[in-house]
Every structure is written in structure tokens, then in C-alpha cells.
Amino acid sequence: MYDIQNTLVSDLVTEVQFLCDLNRCKGACCVEGDAGAPLEKEEIDILIKEKENISPYLTAKGQEAIETQGVFVEDHDGDDVTPLVKGKECAYTIFDANGVATCGIEKAYEAGATGFRKPVSCHLYPVRIGKLRSGQESVNYHEWKICTPACTLGIQLQVPVYKFLKEALVRKYGQEWYEMLDEAVKRGY
């Protein structure tokens, strides 16, 4: 465990090898599961504000889910998450010609239609952030069978989770935090 600027980072985040292999998993993390992607409070405000800018980049089913459910819903644990399309994929999911699921919000971002890239929980996956009673956040690796191809590719190319997620971790915690984690890993504590 690494204690970096009020976060506790699991050893698995630095030890597990991981590199998304969308050609093999087909973006299953956007489709599988029993709830949408976790949202931070400020992300809900952004999704409300940017709804009209993002909507053209979504599927008709996704647009309908958002119109009927809202830009977010509360899951069975009481957490705010993205809505699902008929209990399946995230309402913000789009599919390319090869059937690979990707993010419509990110597509809108890449097109310059919005300044919001996508929920940070999606950007950080397979890392999940938890809140501790101490006020600290926990940074944990979430193991999911659908990510087996990512682990296989990560092992082949020797890419630990935290390096695969450098951009997302910097987005969440900042460059200094990431450099402190990287240095702690290099020192072995």
C-alpha cells in the first residue's frame, strides 16, 4: 500500500500488468455489469449543462434512455451513475463498425463539441476510487473477468496498471501526485 497525498494506493495498482485490448474485449466494460459508471457530483452538473452538445454523438437508444431516466440515476447502493439502456450498456455508449463499444461523450469531446472528456471513473478503469472514514481516498484495482485480454496484453508488454492509467491518474490527482507514486514504486515502498 502506498500513502500518497491523502490517498491509499493498493499494491495491485502498481503490480498488475494491464493494457486495454479493445479488439478482443470489444469494450465490454461499457456494456456489462449491473449499474452505470460512477459519477462525481460536478460531473452531473456538466452532463446536465452539456447534454445538448453530447446528444448528437449518442445512439437513438442512448438518447431515449437519457430522456426518460435523466443524465444520471441512483444505483442500488445509492451512488450516482450513468443510466443504462434497458439494463445493458451505458446510455453514453456508442459502437463502431466492428461492434467495439466506446464513449459517445469522448467522441463529442474529440469533435470539439464539449470540453468534458468523459466521467473520470471511466477514464480510470480498471481503477476504482473509494472513500475511507479517515477522509482519505482508496485507489484500488478492480479485477473483472472481461478484462482478461487486457491483463494478457499488459503482461506481454510489461505495462503496470498505474502506467497504463497515467493520463487518467494525472487528471484525477495531478502530476505531482503521479510523480510521487512513480517514485515510491521505483524505491519499492
- What pTM was estimated for this model as a whole? 0.89
**In the chain, what percentage of residues exceed pLDDT 70?**
99
CA dihedral 114, 119, 125, 127 (to 10 degrees): 130
Asked whether 29 and 88 are in contact (CB, 8 A), the reply is: no
Residues 107 and 53 in one domain: yes
Neighbours of 88 (CB within 10 A): 14
Domain that holds residue 4: 1-18+126-189
pLDDT at 189: 66
State whether residue 97 is helix, strand or coil. coil
Q: Structurally, how many domains does the chain consist of?
A: 2
Q: Residue 134 domain-assigned?
A: yes
Residues lower than pLDDT 50 in the chain: none
Residues 48 and 94 in one domain: yes
pLDDT at 119: 96
Q: Kindly state the cell numbers that stand for 31.
A: 456494456
Residues 34 and 63 in one domain: yes
Residue linked to cell 472528456: 117
pLDDT at 18: 96
pLDDT at 188: 83
Rounded distance between C-alpha atoms, residue 105 and residue 113, angstroms: 9
Asked whether 151 and 17 are in contact (CB, 8 A), the reply is: yes
DSSP 113-179: S-S----HHHHHTTEEEEE-TTS-EEEEE---GGGHHHHHHHHHHT-BHHHHTHHHHHHHH-HHHHH
For 101-141, how does the pLDDT look when each residue is reduced to its tens digit (9 = 90+)? 999 999 999 999 999 999 999 999 999 999 888 889 999 99
Residues 60 and 104 in one domain: yes
Q: Residue 158 domain-assigned?
A: yes
117, with CB counted inside 10 A (0-12, 13-18, 19+), is middle
Residues 38 and 108 in one domain: yes
Rounded distance between C-alpha atoms, residue 181 and residue 176, angstroms: 9
